[in-house]
Structure 1
Amino acid sequence: MSDNQPAGTTRPASVEDDALLSQVTACVFAAGTYLRERFSPDARLWDLREIATAAHANDETVLSVLKAPLLAARPGSGWVEDELESGVLPTGEWWVVDPVEGNINHVHGLTEWAVTATLVRDNTPVLTVVHLPLTGDTYTALAGRGAHLNGKPLRPSAKTELNAAMVGTGQAKPGEGQATYQRIGASVTAMLSSALLLRVSVPATLQLAHVAAGRMDAFWQFSDVRSGLLAGALLVMESGGAVTDTHGRPWTLASRDFLAAAPGIHAETVHVLSTLY
């Protein structure tokens, strides 16, 4: 199997993966409990050093209760140490985990954050759990088995016109560089003229969960940080949405950008974004 195989084209999840999903869900839920205890809506930080210290402490707290059980659940699996890494992985099974997806929100007292864990098999996501500790909501997906929110199937929006769509984008990480910032800015300008409403926010995974659930209609990102895209990509694909790059080509971990959209507006969204560069 090629390292550049399009995401979502691997064989369906196995019966063994069904049992694994229950294990991963329990692990992520337990980690989220610790993270919820660390959250305060009154958090007010003074400078970049304080932000970095608080975010690092959150990561360490979650990993201390999440990493060992996940590795034990799949003996021989690998672990992606840097949550901001991008690009293809070696063949085999890898855990791509964001201990606090939306950490910047958590440490500022905002509510949009989650714990995510995704199993990647030969560079294709096959299982994911996204847990929102403040609401108790849990999104899950298995390759070939659909995507669910609290056990109920997810479906993307049925919209067919971009001018009626709610769309979104955002940064993948700090310090991405002027070329990426210019692409983000150009896409925002283009979509302000094309879509009904545009959101620019983080984290990516929660916007992608909205696309999978039909609350939002499209999300794109001009970088390929794995931990922010893989969980949401599997949710969208398994809900019936379209996942490609911004030119409409199959998305892989080697792609330089990303688009997830409701099927009825995917082509129109590609048309807008693909003409920017």
Structure 2
Amino acid sequence: MTGTLQSSRTAVMVCQGRAAADGLLAPDRFADPVAMTLLRAAEREPVQWVRDDARPRPWPQRLDFETVRAHAEMIVPRTVAIDDAVRAAAHPQLVILGAGLDGRAWRMPEFTVFEVDHPASQQDKRDRATDLPGRPPSYVAVNLGHDPLGTALAAAGHRRDLPTTWVWEGVVPYLTPEQVAATVAQVAECSASAGRLIVNYQRPMPSAALGRLVSRALTASAGRRSVWSREPWRSTWTPEAMAELLGRHGFHVAADVHLMEVAEQVGSPTGHRRSLQHGRIAVADRS
């Protein structure tokens, strides 16, 4: 990353989706009061449009509105599934890989939280979180897929002898298969005999590639550069391939669900069915 520090555009969009959904979508199962605070003023504006159901007429602003609304629909079941798995494991340590603008350290104060991310993205996150009350996470600057994880985690206070839950959300498709495998290997090396790895990944679907092309075209029509040109997808996985990779490193899949199933269970909107159907959550335990 060059130039001024900034979070990845996808990290901002995910945070906007959480802020838009807070208290409105599946309110008895989903809440994220931290998300809005992590956004800058300009990033909050389309969130408020969605929360107010106020569709702007100008096309560029309307595109922002629809993008945030779509992310809100996707984020609710994804967050619920992951949070349920974290709380069910109840391990004392929680490591979030590729944390972006994650708010779990403040939403889940019962855990000791470590956030792993690229140094530049992490500095931006720290700047945004300055005014948040409560205990912040321990920040661990690591470029996933390239840098060693164990040494940096240990220096931040992570204890390998204690059970850990690992959350890997919204990162896998942006890594090559080799980088994904290398990261799972590092997680296994840093794990105690008991632990849990929760992986959000995307399964191969021709409609997903088509949807990304349509999104790029719509973004270009608004005179903007598509986020997918800067952060392209590099890998997708079938449930069988993901289970085989995790099993190779001592993690045995206890559950693997697609987001559509979770959305229907919690009563969250399912308007973007294709996105929900190819997004999956694998919960794998090590014992």
Higher strand share: 1
Higher helix share: 2
Instruction: Output the TM-score relative to the length of structure 2.
Output: 0.27
